[in-house]
Structure 1
Amino acid sequence: MSLIRSSLLVGLGSVASRVLGFVRDVLFAQALGAGPVADAFLAAFRLPNLVRRIVGEGGLNPALIPALSRQEPEEAAAIAGDVLGIFGLALLALTGVVEIGAGLLAFILAPGLHDDGTLALVALYTRLSFPIVVCVTLASIGAALLNMRGRFAATALAPLVVNGGLILALVVIEAGFTLPLAERAAWLAAASSLAGLIQLCIVTAALLHDRPRLVSFRAPRWSPLMKNLLLAGFPALVASGAVQIFILAASQIASFWPSGVSWLYYAERVMQLPLGLMAALGASLLLPELARRYRAGELQAIAAAQNRALEAALLLSLPAGAALVILARPMSAVLFERGAFESADAEGTAMVLAALSLGLPFATVAKVLSQSLFACGSLRAALMAAIVGLVLTVVASVFLAFPLGPTGIALGVSIGCLGHAGAVAFGLHRFGLWQPDRALAVRVARTAAAVLAMSLGLLAAMRLTPQAGAASLAALCLGGLALYALAAFATGAVTRSDWASLTKNA
């Protein structure tokens, strides 16, 4: 499969999932608003959704792909079966622990939600939604195996089921039932677990259909390789989902502010659209390529590939971050301000979104550069970089929360993303796996010039545009995109040879 076809398939699947996620969150806001019940539901939904997004964006790939790619096909299939069996048993045991200890977990997730039974609601929604973790983790392992064979269709389309199922549940609840907010949230939590089971069934069908077999089931065998895979799984998940973990820590702090959890959740969902695309492309396409180059000893080729990937990532993330900062208020109003979601909630969400979007380029840089650490198996360095970012997030969020509230907490997340990117770059440089070249510096400078032109155009257009509705927001987005495209070609940030290079075979 050519690079353009595989990139488009993975990219379109990721974008479609994020678009459905947008629709889902718009309906969340309409159905639940941003009050105590919404805070309780979103605090409980945060942990399983965190796992779903980390593993769905290839969070286990850094542990699986380099190890399995070194094995013969038959042995790799047997090891894959062992991985699925052992992970399945471990996840079932973990789910049992969570079901029993949901009250304690609720306090950990949202220590500030302790009034009027809100913490009890967090525990209930956690029990109902946590089983999705088993399904999506096993589905992610299956997706990694399919990606190794170059089978991207099922892995790109299966994640759509979760958001699609929740949208269907929201539509049915809103149209056919008149339920209290707490009961609506309970049905949604249960629906998420059912949707995760359907996703697992789709990936399983693709695995069983593929020939030669990618998975060979037997009684799981404990081996040094299996031990290394399991030990690598945790740091791989933490390093791959660093930004989501930063947000989880920020949500715990935000729970002490009224509607803080909800504002942070809705804002982060908007910011995650471009970031999630970069994560999916990096884990599914860039990581396998870098792993092959590392096995061949092509260290200079790894550095060059990273630089070219950074150029492409910043070409997308820099304008996205700038546009989200500028359009935060109209975007928040158009997307969420309806039903139980009030104007004050839209204003608070917009301020949080603007603060979060400042960290988008840094989060994207860390996502791309981390792939080299994953490819060469340097998961400890990737884990330490994530810990640096987490510590910075917590310290900055606490320090800025008192004068700025949830907006300061969001700024703390952006500072954590900056520290994470810097730590990853330092680790790569220390291992001799990355060195920025002149071409990267020139391309980034040209991209920044194009982003500046787009930003000035958007600011001028907003001064001339009446109060933003859906039509005017769409016009601003499309106009900004067109202006950025023209500026990118004018400054040389994008050239005709870039389009030609996409058609080369992977």
Structure 2
Amino acid sequence: MSLIRSSLLVGFGSVASRVLGFVRDVLFAQALGAGPVADAFLAAFRLPNLVRRVVGEGGLNPALVPALSRLEPDEAAATAGDVLGVFGIALLALTGLVEIGAGLIAFLLAPGLRDDGTLALVALYTRLSFPIVLCVTLASIGAALLNMRGRFGATALAPLAVNGGLILTLVAIETGFSLPLVQKASWLAAASSLAGLIQLVIVAAALLQDGPSLVRFRWPRWSPLMKSFLLAGFPVLAASGAVQIFFLAATQIASFWPSGIAWLYYAERVMQLPLGLMAALGSSLLLPELARRYRAGEMQAIAAAQNRALEAALLLSLPAAAALVILARPMSAVLFERGAFESSDAEGTALVLAALSLGLPFATVAKVLSQSLFACGSLRAALMAAIAGLVLTVAGALALAWPLGPTGIALGVSIGCLGHAGAVVVGLHRFGLWQPDRALTVRLMRIAAAVLVMGLGLVAAVRLIPQDGALSLAALCLGGLALYALGAFATGAVSRDDWASLTKNA
């Protein structure tokens, strides 16, 4: 399959999942608003959603793909079955522990929610929604096995089941029933677990089509490879999901502010659209390519591929960040201000979104560059970079939260993303893999010029176009996209050779 076809398929699945997730969150805001029940539900939803986002974006791939790619086909199939069996047993036990200790977990997730039984609601929603973790983690492992065989169809489309199922549940609740907010949230939490089961069934059906050539089930056997994979699993997940962990820490701090959890959640969902796309492309396409280059000893090729991937990531994330900062207020109002979500909530969400968007380019850089560390097996460096980002996130959020509230917490997340990216660069430099070339520098200067053109145009357009509806926002977004495209071609940030290179076979 050509690179363009693989990229388009993975990209389509990722974009479709993000769009459905966006629709889901718009309906969340309409149904639940940004009050205590919304804070309780979104706090409980944060943990399973964190796992779903990390493993769904290929969080286990850095540990699984390089290990299995070094084995003979028969041994790889048997080891793949062992991995699925071990994770299945471990996750069943973990789910049981969560169901028993949901009260303690609720306190850890949102220590600021202590009044009016809100913390008890967090525990209830955690119990109902956590089983999705079992399903999506096993589905993610199965998706990694399919990607190794060039099977991207089921892995790209299966994640749509979760958001699609929640959207159907929301529509049914809003149109067919008149329920209190507490019961609405309960149904949504339970529906998320059911939708995760559907995702697992889709991936399992695709795996069974290849039969024992891809995965062979047996009672799990302990082996040095299995031990190394399990030992690598935690640091890989922590490093792959660094930004999600930053948001988890930020949510704990935001729980001390009324509606702080909800504002942070809705703003994050907007910011995550471009970031999630780059994460999916990096884990599904870039990581396997870098792993092959590393096994062949082609270190210069790794650096070159890394630089080109960095160009592509910033080509998307820099204009996205600028547009989100400029359009934060109209975007929050148009997307979320309806039903139980009030104008004051839209204003608070807009400020948080603008602060988060400052960290988007750095989060994207870290996502792309971490793939090189994963491909080379440098898990310790990737984990230490994630820890550095987490420390800066907590320190920045605590320092800025009291003078600025949830907006300061969001700025703390952006500071953490900056620190994370810087720490990843330091790790690459230690391994001799940070080799930015002249082409990268020139491309970044051209991208910056194109973003400046778009930004100036958007600032002027915001003052001229009334910001009172979806049509105005659509005009601003499309106009900004057109300006950026013209600027990118005029400055040479995008050229005809770039399109031609995409059609080359992988």
* Fold similarity call, TM over 0.5: yes
Q: 2-side partners of 1:149 and 1:129: how far apart? A: 32
Q: 2-side partners of 1:372 and 1:241: how far apart? A: 16
1:298 aligns with: 298
Query: Does the 8 A contact of 1:207 with 1:213 survive in 2?
Result: no
1:369 aligns with: 369
Q: What is the DSSP-based 3-state SS (H/G/I as helix, E as strand, rest coil) of the residue aligned with 1:150?
A: coil
Question: Does 2:394 align with 1:394?
Answer: yes
2:54 aligns with: 54
Q: What is the DSSP-based 3-state SS (H/G/I as helix, E as strand, rest coil) of the residue aligned with 1:114?
A: coil
Per-residue deviation, residues 157-176 of structure 1 (Å, max 9, x unmatched): 00000000000000001111
Structure 1 segment 198-347 matched on structure 2, within 5 A: 198-210=198-210, 213-347=213-347
2:483 aligns with: 483
1:7 aligns with: 7
Q: What is the DSSP-based 3-state SS (H/G/I as helix, E as strand, rest coil) of the residue aligned with 2:113?
A: coil
Structure 1 segment 7-46 matched on structure 2, within 5 A: 7-46=7-46
Partner amino acid, structure 2, of 1:367: K
2:93 aligns with: 93
Query: Does the 8 A contact of 1:162 with 1:192 survive in 2?
Result: yes
Number of equivalenced pairs: 506
Q: 1-side partners of 2:396 and 2:188: how far apart? A: 34
Q: 2-side partners of 1:400 and 1:213: how far apart? A: 54
Q: CA deviation at 1:213?
A: 2.2
Question: Does 2:424 align with 1:424?
Answer: yes
Structure 1 segment 87-126 matched on structure 2, within 5 A: 87-126=87-126
Partner amino acid, structure 2, of 1:342: E
Q: 2-side partners of 1:327 and 1:457: how far apart? A: 12
Partner amino acid, structure 1, of 2:255: S
Q: CA deviation at 1:229?
A: 0.3
Structure 1 segment 408-447 matched on structure 2, within 5 A: 408-447=408-447
Q: 1-side partners of 2:211 and 2:222: how far apart? A: 26
Q: What is the DSSP-based 3-state SS (H/G/I as helix, E as strand, rest coil) of the residue aligned with 2:213?
A: coil
1:195 aligns with: 195
Q: What is the DSSP-based 3-state SS (H/G/I as helix, E as strand, rest coil) of the residue aligned with 2:34?
A: coil
1:149 aligns with: 149
2:360 aligns with: 360
Q: CA deviation at 1:211?
A: 5.5
Per-residue deviation, residues 328-381 of structure 1 (Å, max 9, x unmatched): 000000000000000000000000000000000000000000001000111111
Q: 1-side partners of 2:162 and 2:185: how far apart? A: 16
Q: Name structure 1 gaps, 5 residues minimum.
A: none
Q: 2-side partners of 1:448 and 1:244: how far apart? A: 27
Q: 1-side partners of 2:468 and 2:316: how far apart? A: 24
Per-residue deviation, residues 152-192 of structure 1 (Å, max 9, x unmatched): 00000000000000000000011111110000000000000
1:129 aligns with: 129
Q: CA deviation at 1:212?
A: 6.2
Query: Does the 8 A contact of 1:363 with 1:417 survive in 2?
Result: yes
Q: 1-side partners of 2:441 and 2:254: how far apart? A: 37
Q: What is the DSSP-based 3-state SS (H/G/I as helix, E as strand, rest coil) of the residue aligned with 1:314?
A: helix
Q: CA deviation at 1:466?
A: 1.2
| CA spacing shift, 1:212–1:219, aligned 2, 3 Å | closer
Q: 2-side partners of 1:87 and 1:437: how far apart? A: 42
Q: 1-side partners of 2:74 and 2:388: how far apart? A: 40
Q: 1-side partners of 2:318 and 2:118: how far apart? A: 39
Deviates more, 1:230-239 or 1:206-215: 206-215
Partner amino acid, structure 2, of 1:432: G
Runs of 4+ residues deviating >6 angstroms: none
Q: 2-side partners of 1:448 and 1:271: how far apart? A: 19
Q: CA deviation at 1:434?
A: 2.0
Partner amino acid, structure 1, of 2:10: V
Question: Does 2:454 align with 1:454?
Answer: yes
Q: What is the DSSP-based 3-state SS (H/G/I as helix, E as strand, rest coil) of the residue aligned with 2:505?
A: coil
Partner amino acid, structure 2, of 1:60: L
Query: Does the 8 A contact of 1:2 with 1:503 survive in 2?
Result: yes
Q: 2-side partners of 1:186 and 1:218: how far apart? A: 37
Partner amino acid, structure 1, of 2:453: A
Query: Does the 8 A contact of 1:302 with 1:434 survive in 2?
Result: no
1:185 aligns with: 185
TM normalised by structure 2 equals 1.00
Q: CA deviation at 1:433?
A: 1.5
Q: 1-side partners of 2:76 and 2:379: how far apart? A: 21
Query: Does the 8 A contact of 1:271 with 1:353 survive in 2?
Result: yes
Q: What is the DSSP-based 3-state SS (H/G/I as helix, E as strand, rest coil) of the residue aligned with 1:252?
A: helix
Per-residue deviation, residues 236-279 of structure 1 (Å, max 9, x unmatched): 11101100100000000000000000000000000000000000
The alignment-based identity, stated in percent, is 87
Query: Does the 8 A contact of 2:77 with 2:212 survive in 1?
Result: no
Partner amino acid, structure 2, of 1:436: P
Q: 2-side partners of 1:460 and 1:180: how far apart? A: 44
